[in-house]
Amino acid sequence: MASRHEVLCVNKNDRYNPHERIRSIGGKYSNGTRWKLTQEDAIQGIENGKWTFYVSKGGRTVNVIVAVSRYGNKYLKTEADGESPDNLLSLSECPL
């Protein structure tokens, strides 16, 4: 069974293509330590059933899913966003 994690931050590129906008996602474990994954590792973990991710904002929880651009490139977005991953992009930057 996949473990479920809240995404609290992202690291972004200054790119316009959806599959290039997010470099990594991050959050905290229940013990307070931080975790961080590249977009590629997060996609692989979702597709392999290892992890699921979500974003909580304004009392609403939205799942993070793998989407495919019209050019066949995979990227992360939230279910409710349509073409742009606004909920993810609005998160603060992860510490390096």
Query: Each residue of 20-30: pLDDT tens digit?
Result: 689 999 999 98
Percent of the chain exceeding pLDDT 90 equals 54
Q: What digits encode the pLDDT tens for the residues 58-92?
A: 788 899 999 998 889 899 988 864 545 468 888 89
2 pLDDT tier (thresholds 50, 70, 90): confident
Instruction: Please give the Cα distance from 46 to 40 (Å, whole number).
Output: 10
Per DSSP bridges, beta strands 92-93 and 9-12 are parallel
Handedness of CA 6, 8, 95, 40 (dihedral sign): positive
